[in-house]
Amino acid sequence: MRIGFIGLGIMGRPMAKNLIKAGHQLVVIDRRPEVTEEFVALGAAVAATPAGVAAQSEVVVTMLPDSPQVRQVLLGPDGVIEAAPRALTVVDASSINPLAAREMAAALGRRGIAMLDAPVSGGQPMAIAGTLSFMVGGPQEVFDRVAPVLSAMGRSVVRVGGAGAGNIAKLANQAIVAVNIAVLAEALVLARKAGVDPAAVLTAIAGGLAGSNVMAAKGPMMLEHRFEPGFRLALHLKDLGNVMDAAHQVAAPMPLAAQAFEIMTGLKAHGYQAEDHSALLRWYEAAAGLCAAAEPTDPTPNTDPTLTMERP
């Protein structure tokens, strides 16, 4: 299948490579020459605009930071909507506001373009391994047609409901993950303050009810103070902002997610936004008086060009 891919960042890059490995023909766009050269060497074609990507594709996959970037790529000047063939299907794998996903799906639908919102869970390691979890919203017949494409990038591909439902599921996922990481950090700090080896505590409880994928993935990072991003704190903070917006719209109280949001906001204020979300541990250690504030791994603002897509 001829697939366009827009958003070759931390997540999108390995996802696109897995599509090539599965035998699909790719059309890509990126403002960084080294990235486009890498994909040309793998057999991909390059377009100059999102509209150019769409004109050469049956399916366009987007993997972008947030709603404004997705809206620009799909509906803006030189966007997918301007040059798309009527048979086109858009799959937005970004994590965005569900209302925005519904609005964009409706706008594309008026031009005869089908859209699925299909955010993912699993982070960079699972993107590389091709074992992501896709949470999909959109029409059943469109899902059935595109599911094999998603299966080339993920191990779990589940349709949750209509337009926007995939992003509701992703927001639920992000709330659960944030609270799990936070309470894992609390537990490690408790062990240290009580004079017990935190690594031994994790080993002891991993096989019980407290064991989780979060503990398996983030526990070793916390024990070793390795906060290089698999999923940047800034992006999780963005997702929690969408969680709170959606929760307020439907009057769903989420006090635990709100607390995680505030802790991440504090870490961002101190320059830790580019670190992995397991850096939540830093907040608890500082609050417990276990360490002085450490220098951020990357103290620069969250303007990583790999997380954005700009027209050349």
- Residues known to be catalytic: 170
Angle between helices 233-250 and 98-109 (to 10 degrees): 80
Tell me if 24 sits within 8 A of 149, measured CB to CB: yes
Instruction: Decide: residue 216, CB within 10 A, 0-12 exposed, 13-18 middle, 19+ buried.
Output: exposed
Q: Using the 8-state DSSP alphabet, how is residue 122 labeled?
A: S
Alpha carbons 91 and 143: distance in angstroms, whole number:
10
CB crowding 55-93: b at 16 or more within 10 Å, else e = bbbbbbbbbbbbbebbbbbbbbebbbbbbbeeebbbbbb
Tell me if 163 sits within 8 A of 187, measured CB to CB: no
For tokens 């994928």, the residue is: 213
The one-letter amino acid code at 104 reads M
What's CA 115's distance to the chain center, in Å?
A: 18
